[in-house]
Structure 1
C-alpha cells in the first residue's frame, strides 16, 4: 500500500513510518525539518525508517518540504492510498509566541492535505489531534463530548484541524479519523518534554526541575500504543468520521512523575521548582471508552512501566540522544 505520512520525520510520525515501512508498505514522508528542537533526532527517525524499509523490501522516500505548499501536497497525495497527517508546529509555548505561524502550519496545511485527499479520493486520512483541545476541565476524565475550550493557540489550531477533518468527512464523504493524543512519550521523543528533561537531568546528577507546583496532572501515553492504533486504521473503517481520545487511562501528577524518574536513577537528588509556563493545561485525563468500543483500543503500558522502558532505552542510546537533548 502507498502511504503518505506528513510530519513523518517527527516523533510519532517517525514511529508510524518506521513500522509501516518495516511491514513492506511504500512510505513517503513529507517533513519540513522545522528547527523546533535538535534536528539530529529527526535524522535518526529517518534512518530507522530507511533501515526498516530495506529489511522488509518496502520503500521509503523523504521529501523535505512543507505541507503549506499546496501544489506539492497535491502531487504527493495523488500517489497515496492512505494519509497519516501528523505534521504540525508543535508546542504550546511556541504557539503563544508565534500564533500566526502555528495557524499557517496546523490549519492551512491541514486544509491542503484534506483538499488534495478529497480530489484524489484516498482511502482514509488519519489526523493527529491533541488533548489540548479541551482546555480547562469541567469534569475528568475527558470524554469526547466534553466542551472544547482550548487555552493556547496550539490547542485552537488542533481543534480546527480535527473539525476540518470532520467537515470533509460529512460534506465530501472523505473517510477521516481524528485521534486526540494525550501526552505521548517514548523512544526518540522530543527533548523539550517534562519526562525527557527529568531523565536527562537525573542521569547527569542534576535535580529535576518542575515548572509550577507539580500538582498538574497528565495522562501519559506510550508511543507504541499510539503507533499501534494508527496502523490499525490503515484498513479498519470502524471509526471513519469520528474523533477519538487516545490516552492511557492512567494519569499522574508532575510531582510524582519527577519522583518516579528520580527514584529510578538517583534517589539522593532534590526536586527544584520554577515558574509555571504560560498556556499549559492544568490537568489531562482521557476517557478512551469510545476508542475501545469502535476499535478495541486498550493501552498496554501504565506510566511506571513506561518510565522504566524509556529510561532503559535512553541509557542504551545515550551516546547520541543525550547530547541532542542537552543542546535543545
Structure 2
C-alpha cells in the first residue's frame, strides 16, 4: 500500500470529485475536499458519502487566490477538478468560464508552486479536441475551441502546463473523455434519459443523437486519475483517460431503453441543439499513452456501466435529487 499522503481535491462536491474522494479514502489517503462556498452550507454529493467522517471538508472558491494559497499549505498532491462544465451555459455566460476555469487554474497552480506541492493533477476534457479529425484521438490531436467552455479549458490546460515548463511545477494534465455514472448532473444526456424514463415519461425531448462519444464509467475515470498521480513518468505530460470505444448517442439511448424495459419515444427539442459549428460530432479516445505509462486499463464496459448507473438513479432516494423533464443547461 502507498504511504498515506495529504490530498486536496477541488470540486470535490461534484460528480467526479465525490467519487474520487471515495476512492482516495479507500486507498488510505487523507483527503481535504473543497466544495464551492454557499450560504446553505451544502457539500453537494459529499453529503451522501459513507466515508464522510474521514474527509476534511472545506468550503471556498478557487477564484480567490488568497484562499487557494491558504488551503494548499501542508498538502502533498492536488487533484484540480473545480470548473464550470456545462456547454449550453457557456454560450450564455462565457465570462464566468474565464474566471473559474482559467483564472481559477492560475490560482491553484500559483498556490501549488508557492507551497511546494509535490504533484498537481489538472483536469482537462475531451471537448478540447472538438470533432475528431482522425480516430482514435491521441494527445497530439489538434485542439479546436468549438464552444466557450472548450476554449476556457484549452486556455486552462495551457496555463497549467506553463507552470511545468516555466517553474518545474510537477504537474500532469488528465484529459478524461465522457464520464458517466451515479450522481452525474441532469444536464448530461445519460441522466436525462434515465431520470425521465424512471419518472414515467412516455416521450423525451433530446438534442442531436447522431454524435458519437467515448463513454467512461466514473470509477474507471477516477482510477485513471489515481494511476496518473502515482506514476512519476506522467509529470509534464497530457494523458487521455478513455475507453478506446466509440458509440453514438442514439445507440446509447436505445441501450438504456432496452435495459430499463421502456418503450419511450425520443423527440428532437430545438433548444437542446448546439449551434452548427459548436457541435462535437465525434469523440473516440486513444488510451495507449495512459496504458504505456501506468499500466492502467478500464474495467467497466458500457453495458455494465449503464446498468450500474440505472440501478442508482432508479432508487427513489436518489431520483428525488433530480427534476425529471426540466431542461438543465
With normalisation by structure 2, the TM-score equals: 0.90
Residue of structure 2 in register with 1:319 after alignment: 317
What do you get for the CA RMSD once the two structures are aligned? 2.1
2-side partners of 1:53 and 1:22: how far apart? 11
| 2:1 equivalent to 1:4 | no
| 2:24 equivalent to 1:20 | yes
> Does the 8 A contact of 1:22 with 1:53 survive in 2?
no
Residue of structure 1 in register with 2:61 after alignment: 66
2-side partners of 1:321 and 1:268: how far apart? 20
Distance of aligned partners of 1:290 and 1:23 in 2 relative to their CA distance in 1, 3 Å threshold: closer
- Structure 1 residue 34, shift from structure 2 partner: 7.5
Structure 2 gaps, min length 5: none
> Does the 8 A contact of 2:86 with 2:187 survive in 1?
no
1-side partners of 2:263 and 2:132: how far apart? 36
1-side partners of 2:249 and 2:7: how far apart? 37
2-side partners of 1:174 and 1:323: how far apart? 39
Residue of structure 1 in register with 2:258 after alignment: 263
Larger mean CA deviation between 268-277 and 70-79 belongs to: 268-277
Mapping 1:289-304, distance limit 5 Å: 289-304=288-303
1-side partners of 2:212 and 2:160: how far apart? 29
| 2:116 equivalent to 1:121 | yes
Larger mean CA deviation between 99-108 and 131-140 belongs to: 131-140
- Structure 1 residue 23, shift from structure 2 partner: 3.3
Deviations 1:135-163 (A, max 9, x none): 13211221111110120111111111222
- Structure 1 residue 325, shift from structure 2 partner: 4.0
| 2:229 equivalent to 1:222 | no
Q: Which of 197, 206, 210 lines up with 1:210 in the alignment?
A: 206
1-side partners of 2:249 and 2:37: how far apart? 30
2-side partners of 1:323 and 1:70: how far apart? 32
Deviations 1:242-269 (A, max 9, x none): 0011111112111111111112223422
